[in-house]
Structures are given as structure tokens and as C-alpha cells.
Amino acid sequence: MAGVQVTIEHDMLGRIVSISRPGKGAPERSIKSVVSARDGHSTFVTEVEEEEISTLINSHRVDVGQKSLVALGRY
């Protein structure tokens, strides 16, 4: 399965608020995007499997200290 780069917005406790990923542009064209976070939130860029994107909000948190995603059972 192919990994895709996503930007994850999270609160100070690591709870995921939103997930953004670049759209698919025309062939040979790069799409640049900027994701800004609300007050009290931060963003984290990582690569995940495309099939996991829709479930990350309910299954993972951001470990702010380690700058990584962790499954809720391991947080």
C-alpha cells in the first residue's frame, strides 16, 4: 500500500482535530498547500497509509514530545 503525506492538526494533549492531505493535481504539476492551526493547536506532518486516513481521528493521537502518531491503546 502506498503512503501519503498528511498534515494533522491536534490540540495540546495530542487529540487529532483534523487531517489534511494534498489533492491530486494534473500530471507533472505539484500542488503546494499550507495548513494553519487554530489558537492552542499545532500541526504535525507525517506519512500514513491512505487507507488509514479516515480512521486516524478515532484511533490515534499525536505524541507531542516524540512527534509521532501513537495508537490510542498505547498513549
Q: What is the pLDDT of residues 47-72, one digit of tens each?
A: 999 889 989 999 999 998 888 999 98
Neighbouring residues of 16: CB distance < 8 A, sequence distance ≥ 6: 8, 9, 10, 56, 57, 60, 61, 62
Domain count along the chain: 1
Boundaries of domain holding 61:
3-74
2-6, 28-32, 53-57: which is most confident: 53-57
Averaged pLDDT of the chain: 83
For residues 60 and 72, what is the distance between their CA atoms, to the nearest angstrom?
Answer: 5
